Structure 1
């Protein structure tokens, strides 16, 4: 039986949906092979569950138990298929994902030559685009041993500006037209927290790292509202397809907030969004006038966090390290702000009641942020705001216990480890790698890890993340024994970090993260039993249906 789509809360949409409102009734899902964690973290199996016309769960258990609590309900037969709670990505970039889906995507290219061919093909297919924009290149995957250059881009597209974001979003590759449009010459100074890559003569090569990217970003034509809506539509559809019912959007501004609220008001927001305001500047001042938005439109949207940056990324050597890079002894990477500057930004957000989530990848970046938390948690009285460090990727071993003692949530992305394994140890060496991607070390001390993907840096598919967390292997099963397998998670722990603990990291554990009475009926139907299959096949799991608050938002055709 296939159900029609039901509005997120039937009573709110009677006029808007007319006949669809007649479908509003208590619904029982029967004959499911269901798994959920409860709020204690125990794995619970169930065969049936019921939710009311507002999308709230009434009962979960055996068929008889649920039927007794939902007399007169309509029934949907799952025919033994596996049901899980809706999965949560605790760190992604929704509009960035939509941009990748609507622009040039270079993430699958395995060589510079193939990337240049793709760029040339894209240029010919889009002759009316004033700028050619894209993302996803990775010189490490190309085995290039260096960054690409503007001259190489000029060889395929010389008449229009080209601007391509690196896979991690922390570097950009421009052709000469784009450099000229931004006014970048050999005399242009590196901005604070950024670097213009240069040749032996001091001339810009075409790659801009971290804050230097803004020199080009500010001259790229602004997106129209129609384009922004298309980008959001594309992203929401993709997120539903991979089984995500909630995402934490790591860095939004006034325009994105306005669009989210509009989509929520009109029942078009098919994935829950926990928003983080990007920075503490003008957008924060405007968006924070009334304080944190804890819930909007039945928990479909929230805006109660702030996203800040301490440093750059490991792949572009922008992550700030305490000691120099092992493969580039002349560089420590980049801290984006002085200690005093980031302290001021974090404190400003804390005092306004916001959760503060700071991007920190290198051990120096993580230490800088931990130092501020240690200094300011008491004076701001903000310990209950569940502050986070986003990525916590390379952490000095002596700093890991500080996450637990300070109550800081490590928000980590399992696929970063399996994507970075081809270069991470080269960057930091055999000693510092012991504190890198150290999930087991964090779990052992009692930290609750909020898992995500950092899409579009990585695929938003949460089963890729669960697979990486459990096996420490890439999609090709490499390395066979797992990369530093002593840091792997159990399957239950991996499911927890994409459900309960991700919900906890957004102050939403009482509404999301498990299938229990009183919570929202956010669930997915998948094509295999996650707990009765080889771990190495987890990444092949397919999503058949995705439901948010009792509304089916995706069904595989």
Structure 2
């Protein structure tokens, strides 16, 4: 991020500072882009005359800024500024929203929308192509499903792409990628920049200081990623770490990762698809379909990618949701470790995005191979439970095994929390709550563990151990919150799950018991620069 103001020092006092160095801290000094000191209110007096600015927190809480470890920034911005069907209550409601959006955008070449989920509608089905054509006035329209692994398109858009004989079924696989590329190619640079600004602005308003952009040739484009990285470098806002999801097969592929400015060769490098679209790759067939999903990469291809990346010192990663896909990843990474050495593989913290269907064997493999699990607790909150989408697709017994965060942490697997926005919204406190109050209680983790995974965990997943925590010497990326009582919560829901006992020596966090209000961000600071300030606060 560009330096827009001279280096300044700031004393924040009369609040609560969430820091492992002092569980009772009430004050913090920031010197330019670095945390300089954390301590008590009495000791803060000695700094008051030596800083450029003194901020009275008035009882507010200061925490590290959140890191969302899996985001699609442009798509998030387009959903924020365009047609969002995530709250459509029924098929007729969705069609009515499409008609209104089409009428409001008479000059747009290709219309884009996102978020439909037929499993939440009484009709239990998406619109037919004829219904879609009518609602869109026979204009080109692309509508991605909530999981972004299938989509609908009007006849006018399908005529621009060769995808075989079109049917009413949602597009998946190569056909979906081709139509998505055609739709996104119609987004102008000005539209893209506006969407990226909107997404970063919204993230900052939620206390998010860093975004991990999961880009790739089947998801967005090189131009989209480079434009986003350039925007983040030029304008204040959340930091952006870019991941490029293209399998590396030779030195040319590694050069492209570096030329793009990407942090790693991973993110949504698809080993399989999603459960909602019946494309996650399973060991046993779906409960509601006579097949086991789709496999896009096998263990041999995974091994080649990881070995080449490891030898070049580049972090690799994969999208894997189904149990067969996760097994393919661990088998492939194990083969790569046999070539390069296990220590070199572990050192790079290769990532697995989603990692939803884990088994005791794959959890143990993650720990042994040093793999990071980049997970999205909102998936469980949205699709978990005895009658949720997971249960529809897998049956209740298999659905209960999904997203086993507690088992991953017990095994020593690092977690990094994210949203996969726009699949689920940017909502960091909601993600922490969802991990702490999992729909399968045995998978719950403490609020403190979830918060760490959503702050420091994201930085560690990007290879940085010196950030995401408020200690002297750390980057000054923090958020200031208006919140209720601070408590210490534990994951066992069979007993009281909170404590206010100060003798615990553990810094408190907001009470996130279901039904309580989430904290409100008052200010978000990145590298010492304010990137969001709530008006009148």
TM-score normalized by the length of structure 2: 0.87
2:270 equivalent to 1:309: yes
* Residue 372 in structure 1 maps to residue 335 in structure 2: no
Shift of 1:553: 0.9
Query: Which residue of 7, 12, 15 maps to 1:32?
Result: 15
* CA spacing shift, 1:534–1:182, aligned 2, 3 Å: closer
CA–CA distance in structure 1, aligned partners of residues 163 and 256 of structure 2: 37
Partner of 1:449: 415
Q: Deviations over 1:83-110 (max 9, x none)?
A: 1111111111112211212321111101
Query: 1:292, 1:304 within 8 Å by CA — same for their partners in 2?
Result: no
Cα drift, residue 538 of structure 1: 5.2
Q: 1:492 Cα shift? A: 0.8
Q: Which residue of 2 aligns with 1:497?
A: 453
**Cα displacement (A) at 1:270:** 0.9
Provide the residue aligned with 1:195 in structure 2.
Answer: none
Report the counterpart of residue 245 of structure 2 in structure 1.
278
Mapped contact 1:546–1:552 kept (Cα < 8 A): yes
Alignment of 1:59-98 (within 5 A): 59-68=37-46, 72-73=50-51, 74-98=53-77
2:226 — aligned with what? 258
* CA deviation string 1:195-240 (max 9, x = no partner): xxxxxxxx61151013321231233343332222111111110110
Query: 1:247/1:364 Cα in 2 relative to 1: closer, same or farther (>3 Å)?
Result: same
Alignment of 1:176-191 (within 5 A): 176-186=155-165
CA shift, 1:368, in A, is: 0.5
Tell me, yes or no, if structure 1 residue 541 matches structure 2 residue 519. yes
1:314 Cα offset (Å): 0.6
Superposed displacement of residue 471, structure 1 = 1.7
Q: Distance in 2 between matches of 1:272 and 1:62?
A: 30
**Which of 138, 149, 163 is equivalent to 2:117?**
138
Which of residues 406, 414, 417 in structure 2 aligns to 1:440? 406
Q: Structure 1: state its 5+ residue gaps.
A: 1-6, 14-19, 187-202, 294-300, 473-482
| Residues 468-502 of structure 1: CA deviation (Å, up to 9, x unaligned) | 11122xxxxxxxxxx21111111111111111222
| Alpha-carbon contact 1:60-1:516 (below 8 Å) kept | yes
In the alignment, what sits opposite 1:350? 310
Counterparts in 2 of 1:49 and 1:166: CA distance versus 1, 3 Å:
same
The separation in 2 between residues aligned to 1:288 and 1:556, in whole angstroms, is 42
Say which of 96, 101, 104 aligns to 2:83: 104
CA change 1:419–1:37 in 2 (3 A) is farther
Deviation of 1:144 (Å): 3.3
Change (3 A) 1:94 1:282: farther
Q: Find 1:484's aligned residue among 416, 421, 440.
A: 440
Deviation track 1:168-220 (CA, whole Å, cap 9, x = no partner) reads: 1101111222222223443xxxxxxxxxxxxxxxx611510133212312333
Q: Give the count of matched residue pairs.
A: 499
In structure 1, distance between residues paired with 2:191 and 2:279: 31
Quick one: distance in 2 between partners of 1:442 and 1:549? Answer: 31
Question: What is the alpha-carbon distance in structure 1 between the residues aligned to residue 306 and residue 412 of structure 2?
Answer: 25
**How much does 1:161 deviate?**
1.3
Q: How does 1:402-551 map to 2 (within 5 A)?
A: 402-421=365-384, 422-472=388-438, 483-510=439-466, 512-529=467-484, 531-532=486-487, 533=511, 535-537=513-515, 540-551=518-529
Could you tell me which residue of structure 1 aligns to residue 197 of structure 2?
233
Runs of 4+ more than 6 Å apart: 281-284
Return the match for 1:124 from 100, 103, 109: 103
Q: Is it true that 1:214 corresponds to 2:174 in the alignment?
A: no
Query: What secondary structure, in the 3-state scheme, does the structure 2 residue paired with 1:288 have?
Result: helix
Distance 1:485 1:382 in 2: 33
Distance 1:219 1:50 in 2: 50
Q: 1:56 and 1:302, CA in 2 relative to 1: closer, same or farther beyond 3 A?
A: farther
Query: Which moves more between the two structures, 447-456 or 530-539?
Result: 530-539
Instruction: Give the Cα–Cα distance (whole angstroms) in 2 for the partners of residues 325 and 224 of structure 1.
Output: 40
Structure 2 unmatched runs, 5+: 488-510
Query: Which whole-Å CA distance do the structure 2 matches of 1:534 and 1:411 have between them?
Result: 22
CA distance in 2, matches of 1:148, 1:387: 39
Question: Is residue 2:287 matched to residue 1:326?
Answer: yes
Computed over aligned residues only, the root mean square deviation of the Cα atoms, in angstroms, reads: 2.5
Q: Distance in 1 between matches of 2:376 and 2:390?
A: 15
Structure 2 SS opposite 1:450? strand
Structure-1 separation of matches of 2:223 and 2:11: 39
